[in-house]
Amino acid sequence: MPRLRVPWAVACFVWACGVGCGDLDPLCPSWGLCRSPLALNASPPWQGCGETWWGAAGLSLWGLSSDSLIDSFPIDPIQENYVRNDVIENILDLHISVQGTSDFLQFVSGGKVIFGSVPLAHRYGGHQFGSWAGQLGDGRAHLIGVYTNRYFCRHGERWELQLKGSGKTPYSRNGDGRAVLRSSVREFLCSEAMHYLGIPTSRAASLVVSDDEVWRDQFYNGNIKKERGAIVLRLAKSWFRIGSLEILAHSGELDLQRRLLDFIIQEHFPLIAVNDSDRYLEFFSTVVSETANLIALWMSVGFAHGVCNTDNFSLLSITIDYGPFGFMDSYDPNFVPNTSDDEGRYKIGNQANVGLFNLNKLLQALKPLLDPRQKQLASQVLEGYGQHYYTRSTELFRTKLGLLGDDENDNYLIAFLLKLMEDRRADFTMTFRELSEITEDQLKELHIPEEFWALQDLGKHKLFSEWVSMYLLRLEHNKGDTDVKRRKRMTAVNPRYVLRNWMAESAVQKANLNDFSEVHLLQQILQHPFRRQEAAEKAGYSLRPPAWAKDLKVSCSS
C-alpha cells in the first residue's frame, strides 16, 4: 500500500509500442496521430497573436519542469513502479510540423522523457456515486511536467501535461494503466469541442494509437474483448481536484493539506492573498461560484458529464476526466449518458444537485483548517450555491433566446419552452439553433420551413402557438433591437454542431479500421460549432440523429 503521507509518487512509463518507436508515422497502419486543432500557418512572430516563432520543428530547445511540484511536496521514496493501489502552437509554443518528427511521436507515446521531466502520479481520494471510495489516484495518467508559455498572447501561462493511458502507476490498483481507442478518441475530441463552445475544460494536444492488446469488459457483462490501446497528451492549468483535499483530510495529514492549499491558491487564485487569514474561506467561496457557473454552462449546451464523482471535480472548476459523457439529443432531464450509472445519479437533470453534494464534501475536507467563524461563513457560502446556479442558468438561457434586459416572466418563458421540448422529445441543440435562424415573421405565421426539423417537431405540441405568442411579445421589449440583430446574437451562442454520441461512435469505428478521416473532420468542424459549414452539412451533423444512435451505450470501462 502507498504511504498516505505523500501526495505524489514517481512513476515509470511502461507503455510498450506496437512498432519500433523510431519508425512511427502518424499515417502508418499501426499508428494514428491527430494533431492539435489549434494548428495555424507558421509565420513570423510580428504578425500577431496565435502564431509561433519556431523556424523549424524540434524539441531540442524545448523543455519541461516539475520543480514547482517536487520542491513543494514530498515524493514517495520508493522508486519501484509496482501496483500500490490552439494546443501545439498556441499553448506549447511548438511549430505544428513537430508532429511528424520521431522525437515528438516518441514523446507523446511515452517512449521518450523530455529534459527536465520527472513523471509523477498524483494520489487522491473521492466519493464515487455518493460513497467514500478511499484512496484512488492517477491509475493511468502520468504527469510529465509543467510548461510555461514564453511567447506572445499566452506569455506566462502555466500548463500541466499528462499522458493518459501510458501505463501503470503506483495507484493503478488492479488496472493495467492503459486506455483504449474508443474512450481516447472521445476525450480527445470532446475536450477540444468544449473549449470551442466556451466551456472551461482540459485540453488535448495529441492522440496516439497502437495495436498493443488491451483487454476490456466494455459493459461489465463478462464479455471481455481485445481492443486497441491509445494515449492522449492532455493539458490543464491544474489536475488537482476535490479528492486531492479529501484524501488528506481523511488521513489527518493537515500540514500537507495546508501546503497543498497554499500552493493551489498561490498558483491559480491570484486574487486571494496567500497571507490572508481567510484565504481558505475565500478559496471555497470562489470554487462554489465557479462550480455553479461550470454546471450552468454544461446545461446550456445539453452536456452531461456522466461520472460527477468528487475525484472528477476540478478545484479550478474546469471540465476534466472525460469518460462516459454525452450531449443530449432529445431534451430529457432524465438523460443518463453512462450505462454504469444504474440509479441515474448523474442524469443531466441532477448535475446541479450533484455539484452541491461535491462542494459539501469539499467543505468537510476544509473544516479542520477553519475556525468556528470561518466554518459558519463557509456554510452560508454553500447555502448560496443554489442561487448562484439559478442566476447563471437564467442568464445563459435568456441569452440563448436572444432576450435583452431582465423581465420577471423570463424564467417562466424558459421553463415553458423546456416543458414543451420535454413533452415532444424535441432535439435540444437544434431547437435553440433553429430558433436562432428562423425569422420573426415566420414565427408569427407559424410557418416552419421543412429544414427546421426540430421546430417542426416542437410545433406539433398543442401549446406551441401560445409559447410563440409569449416569446414574440417578449422580443418586442428588446429596446433598439432588430430581427437581424437577434438572429446574429443567437447564432453566436447556440451551436449548430456538438459532439453527439453517434458522431463520436462513427469516428471511433473508422479509427478502429485505421481510418482517421472522421476524427480529423470532427476535429476541424468542432473548432467552429456556431458557424454553418459545408463539410458538416454534407456529413449530416445538423440533421436528425440516425435511428441506430438510440441504441448507443457508453460505460465507465475505458
Cβ-proximal residues to 332 (8 Å cutoff; 6+ apart), any chain = 348, 422, 425
Backbone dihedral angles phi then psi of residue 487, each to the nearest 5 degrees: -65, -35
| C-alpha cell belonging to residue 484 | 437581424
- DSSP character string of 24-42: --TTSTT--BPPPTT----
SS3 assignment, position 210: strand
Around Cβ 405, how many Cβ atoms within 10 Å?
A: 11
Candidates 495, 550, 519; CA nearest to 302 is 495
Around Cβ 197, how many Cβ atoms within 10 Å?
A: 23
Looking only at the bridges linking them, the beta strands covering 158-164 and 8-10 are unpaired
Residue owning grid cell 510529465: 144
Candidates 216, 134, 147; CA nearest to 182 is 216
Q: Which of 311, 321, 341, 457 is catalytic?
A: 311
| C-alpha cell belonging to residue 556 | 465507465
Distance CA 327, CA 198 (A): 15
Question: Which value, to the nearest 10 degrees, does the dihedral of the CA atoms of residues 146, 148, 154, 156 take?
Answer: 130
Candidates 260, 250, 252, 247; CA nearest to 138 is 247
Backbone dihedral angles phi then psi of residue 234, each to the nearest 5 degrees: -120, 155
Helix (H) or strand (E) holding 206: strand 203-217
Specify whether the CB–CB gap between 132 and 125 falls below 8 A.
Answer: yes
Backbone dihedral angles phi then psi of residue 139, each to the nearest 5 degrees: -85, -20
In the residue annotation, 211 being an active-site residue is answered as: no
- Rounded to 10 deg, the angle between the 483-491 and 428-437 helix axes is 150
Candidates 459, 523, 516; CA nearest to 497 is 523
Distance CA 528, CA 485 (A): 20
How far the first Cα of the chain sits from its last, in Å, is 24
Question: How far is residue 446 CA from its own chain's centroid?
Answer: 38
SS3 assignment, position 529: coil
> Cα separations (Å) of 73 from 10, 125, 487?
12, 17, 52
Catalytic residues: 311
